[in-house]
Amino acid sequence: MNILIKNVHVITGDANDIYHGINNIAIKDDIIYYIGKNIPENFIPNRVIKGNEFIAMPGLVNAHTHAMMVLMRNSADDLTLENWLFQNILPKEKNITKDIVKKGTMLGIAEMIKSGTTCFLDMYYEMDVVAKAVIESGMRANLSYGLMTCNQWQKGHEYAKAFCKDFHNEYNLANNGKLKTSIEAHSVYLCDEAMLRANADLAKELNSSIHIHLHETKFEVDESIKKTGLTPIKQCLKAGVLDVPVIAAHTIWVDDEDLIILKENNVTSVHTPSSNLKLASGIARVPDMLDSGINVAIGTDGAASNNMVDMFNEMRLTSLIHKGITLDPTVINAATTIQMATYNGAKALGFENLGLLKEGKKADLILVDTSCLNNIPLNNPASAIVYSSQGNNVDTVICNGDILMENREFLTIDEEKTIYEAKKASTLL
């Protein structure tokens, strides 16, 4: 399908070149074919969208979440991470079934699309039904499955390995390349060295990346040093985890040596400010990481600890909390925040041709309403995205050239059914 968006503010996703003025955007099938003042000759649009009251920007990339966990939102709050996880979340997860995961994931996906996310990195159980929900919705995602979490580990290493490989073979690059898979190594506190090494070996064999929670709490780091003499990052280095591309959520309690290891091994850090603040885990050294050239993306984490999956909240917090900590209002400006939430995330998830609103890139983009009260007057469009817009200002969502939402109405998801089924599923946890 060819889509023409006329006279729209263009935010690129590139922090060094963030705003391109008011232009026309021509989308040909799954590619951004043209951005400029004219309309290309021979371009016959099937759809024309008036862009006058919108900002167009790359679809947001939620680089760390557990979509299904929206079913657990508002159920375990104001607790330490250890109490939250071991006394509240893990007992609920004993009740999960494929059906519950599918219905929870659909609700999470619906919330993400409504707030402008077109691509996400997910880690959970029963990832085959997560994949099915993603395919149904039309979104793009990278889905992580590991040896320990595929529920097959108790049947033995080889069995679990075959199970993960089957998942990879079925879903990696599936659905017109919109799906990718990665290997989950949950965390150093749940994976011992042998498990870390086994996951790393599997990732190498499949030419895949690893998705891990790393240095989330001071307790995690202290325990790791007590048990092994190494920080979790150094344990990962020793076990070969950092030999493959790694997407590490949180990375909060890192010392200068850890930062050097992250940089030298091209690890992506995913900043999840809401979850980290809510669980009082701490605040990551994002300005230091950016200064040292580490790729930093942004994620919501699961809604059991956020309690939403709205990337606009995370962008705003990212830019604000570091100003407060450093006492420097110039640190992490709006343009950098937008790049972290788009291009940096896409790169981390292995979608190289994504995350930028530029000619030749994949057509994943959103239109944000500038006519709502909180965006008047507009003044600086990049500032509007980070400081004055909310997820519910997203009007239109396009992924891979397909419209998933228009005028805030879903085109691929039955919203009423999704809500009804999610409510019912949540009572079974």
The residues of the shown chain that bind Zn ion, judged by CB under 5 A, are: 301
Cβ 210 to Zn ion shortest distance, Å: 14
End-to-end CA distance of the chain: 42
Nearer to Zn ion, 11 or 141 (CB): 141
Q: Is the peptide bond before 307 cis (omega within 30 degrees of 0)?
A: yes
- CA-to-CA distance for 142 and 162, rounded, in angstroms? 19
Cβ 248 to Zn ion shortest distance, Å: 11
Nearer to Zn ion, 30 or 301 (CB): 301
Cβ 299 to Zn ion shortest distance, Å: 8
Q: Strand, helix or coil at 302?
A: coil
Q: Strand, helix or coil at 151?
A: coil
Nearer to Zn ion, 306 or 400 (CB): 306
Q: Are strands 402-406 and 296-298 parallel, antiparallel or unpaired?
A: unpaired
Nearer to Zn ion, 10 or 270 (CB): 270
Nearer to Zn ion, 83 or 207 (CB): 83
Q: Strand, helix or coil at 211?
A: strand
260 C-beta neighbours (distance < 10 Å), count: 14
Q: Which residue is closest to Zn ion by CB?
A: 301
Nearer to Zn ion, 13 or 299 (CB): 299
- CA-to-CA distance for 121 and 311, rounded, in angstroms? 13
φ/ψ (deg, to 5) at 206 = -95, 0
DSSP type of residue 172: T
- CA-to-CA distance for 406 and 401, rounded, in angstroms? 13
Cβ 354 to Zn ion shortest distance, Å: 22
Cβ 301 to Zn ion shortest distance, Å: 5
Cβ 270 to Zn ion shortest distance, Å: 9
